[in-house]
Amino acid sequence: MSDNNIFIGNKPFMNYVTGVVMQFTSKNADDVIIKARGKFISRAVDVAEVSAKRFLENAVSVTGIKIDSEGFKTEEGKDVRVSTIEITLSRR
């Protein structure tokens, strides 16, 4: 697993934005991938937009968006599908 992946979950919104900014500034990453599943997809989009347009203005841009879905069985044996997204931010 690459160090430049940010997985979106329940933490406060600005923790993820700070993580993205730190990857570009402190670790000098060329690109950062923001990943989310299910109900956290909208938060991932917001993190990408705030990071690129407010904190790293004119330094990074969205270069890729990949959407998919994963299927798995619950403990009760029910088939469930969950949507996923990967947003790639890259240096300009």
**Structure confidence at residue 2 (pLDDT):** 67
Rounded Cα–Cα distance for residues 18 and 22 (Å): 6
The pLDDT tens digits for 60-92 are 999 999 999 999 999 999 999 999 999 999 998
The pLDDT tens digits for 40-61 are 999 999 999 999 999 999 999 9
Q: Which residues contact 89 (CB under 8 A, 6 or more apart)?
A: 20, 24, 31, 32, 33, 34, 48, 51, 52, 56, 60, 61, 62, 63
Give the mean model confidence (pLDDT) for residues 20-48.
Answer: 96
For the chain, what are the domain ranges?
5-91
**Structure confidence at residue 1 (pLDDT):** 54
**Which amino acid is it at 49?**
E
**Structure confidence at residue 92 (pLDDT):** 86
**Structure confidence at residue 44 (pLDDT):** 98
CATH code of the domain occupying 5-91: 3.30.110.20
**Of 65, 68, 28, residue with least CA distance to 44:** 65
For 69, the enclosing helix (H) or strand (E) is strand 60-73
